[in-house]
Chain A
């Protein structure tokens, strides 16, 4: 089961869950992902220790996709 989560004030919220091959769930996850991008979030796929890739389309094969806010110098 893959998950799309957003880091937020609750710790994190699960926005969508899908299994490969479940077209309806994938479609809903893609829509949720796009909605978060439109809100200014950035999609990131953690690829193990030391590696992460930002994504502008939902990688449906990924186990976990995380939405983060932009950072800034303090």
Chain B
């Protein structure tokens, strides 16, 4: 059989069979992710959100108590308290929005391979929502084309990760398959290599997700709470 011609050579990545992700060599300064470090990150994001919310609410309440005619200014303060965490959430959820060219013809081929990697229910969910559900030791993952969501234990918090395969020519399902295989190879390494973009309550994430992807989050939450 003739060997298929392929894209240009990549930088060679030394790796150990069965070991951790070789991509970790690119982020040597990052400590390996753990359930505890994820919990800490989540708490920091909660505190960060509170730090942006509480002062504006306090200012609004204070202004209303001081002078009811200051209501418009108080309303502006309340709006800030609402909008700033929403902007962070929007940025976080943005990592799993479909991006790039759709490559319709190769996508059909790639969809077949990705389907073979997934179980029956996960395959249907991926075709309907564009996200692949994967249970891991850190929680339940939803893998998209250029990012992943991690629903933590008991579904209390969702972490958003920006992670991708840097090749725009790949069809969407191949991008997901790349991330899925890396995740299955070394979940902790995957969570370390990926850039943590946001962590927040599921309701905040759900509001910003595309309607098509929302059933995937609901399924991940169910799996995390089971």
Contact = CB atoms under 8 A, between A and B. Distances in A.
Q: Does A pair with B?
A: yes
Interface of A: 5-17, 25, 28, 32, 35-42, 44, 46, 49-57, 66, 68-74
A18 to B, nearest CB: 9
Contacts of A42: 13, 15, 22
Interface string B175-205: 0011101101100001001110000000000
Contact of B177 (A7, A9, A55): A7
Contacts of A15: 3-4
Contacts of A39: 6, 9-10, 12
- The DSSP consensus for interface residues of chain A is mixed
Nearest to A38: B12
A10 B136 CA distance: 30
21 contacts: A7-B110, A8-B6, A9-B7, A9-B170, A11-B113, A13-B4, A15-B3, A16-B1, A36-B6, A38-B9, A40-B9, A40-B10, A41-B10, A46-B184, A49-B119, A50-B184, A53-B18, A54-B19, A69-B166, A73-B161, A74-B95
A36 B122 CA distance: 30
A53 B185 contact: yes
Interface string B159-178: 00111111101110110011
Question: Considering the complex of A and B, which 5 residue pairs feature the smallest CB-CB distances, nearest first?
Answer: A11-B109, A40-B10, A74-B162, A73-B195, A52-B184
Interface residues of B, number: 62
Contacts of B178: 7, 68-69, 71
B28 interface: no
Contact of A68 (B136, B165, B190, B193): B165
Given A12-B174, A70-B22, A70-B23, A6 B17 contact: no
B67 interface: no
Contacts of A46: 117, 181, 184
Contact of A40 (B11, B136, B169): B11
B39 interface: no
A32 B2 CA distance: 10
A35 B13 CA distance: 13
Contact of B16 (A10, A14, A50, A56): A56
Interface in B199-215: none
A7 B6 contact: no
Interface in B122-150: 122, 134-136, 146-147
Interface string B85-125: 00000000001000000010111111011000111001000
Contacts of B147: 74
Given A13-B6, A16-B1, A71-B165, A7 B113 contact: yes
